[in-house]
Amino acid sequence: MNSIGKSIRMERIFDRNTGNAIIIPLDHGVGAGPIKGLENLQTTVDKVAKGGANAVLGHMGLAKHGHRGYGHDVGLLIHLSASTLLSADPNHKVLVTTPEEALKVGADGVSVHINIGAEDEFEMLQDLGKTARKCDEWGMPLLAMMYPRGPKISSEYDVEVVKHAARIGAELGADIIKTNYTGSPETFREVVAGCPVPVIIAGGPKVNSERELLEMIQGSLEAGAKGVAIGRNVFQAKDPVALVRRISKLVHGGLSVEKVLALEDAGERI
């Protein structure tokens, strides 16, 4: 197991001082096409990097077409799983890239998407286990997007299914778990307590306001989350640069939502 390789790459994803991470997923182009905010990958990467994101996450096209060669550096995670909204079963995720291929384009980590409770769950679990072994061999951090989605799941945000999904990811070898926020610090503490690797929250559907998003992030941090992986709520924001800066004040600065917004009202640069 190449532990030093993982340690070095993890430091490109998680801030060395706070131990937290702001990851911006930009993988939506495969599933949904060139949606608002992702028309030009280089432009979007530049905005979130200026805001202070630790890393961006996307498919191989992100490495090929999103690399800027200028500006503030930002970590890169290559997403290995894919499906499209045009499919008969969009929840059926298949592997389209390998950790070895991600290494060749300079990735700092890779990610896979697993839907716990789906009818083809067993196939995705096999993919997770096999990918985790390869990542151990190559010293590549593995982020597992663990979502409860299937016929038996009445709510994707129920703490019982979320904490089970998170634990599965860690048990099968993931180094970082991305999952749904359960709605309160009290319930999300159960998710964090039951998972032996860092847990970060997904951004979820488009929120009604930035305050709502910031309050969700604050609640997750209070519960012990180690950061966020938020996509469309960032890159479809009116000002993605400013929003990432606000998020950074929470994730890395330790400020409250009220303090962050008060600084903005006072005219301070955030």
> Which candidate in 147, 163, 181, 249 is catalytic?
147
CA atoms of 256 and 62, how far apart (whole Å): 33
Task: Indicate if 27 belongs to the active site.
Answer: yes
Q: Residues 56, 233: contact at Cβ < 8 Å?
A: no
> Which candidate in 27, 46, 127, 136 is catalytic?
27
Owner of token pair 């992030």? 217
> Which candidate in 6, 93, 163, 178 is catalytic?
178
Q: Residues 189, 223: contact at Cβ < 8 Å?
A: yes
* Sign of the torsion angle spanned by Cα atoms 35, 40, 45, 48: negative
Task: Indicate if 147 belongs to the active site.
Answer: yes
Q: Specify the length of the chain in residues.
A: 270
Task: Indicate if 178 belongs to the active site.
Answer: yes
Task: Name the token pair of 166.
Answer: 């998170």
Task: Name the token pair of 213.
Answer: 């998003």
Catalytic machinery residues: 27, 147, 178
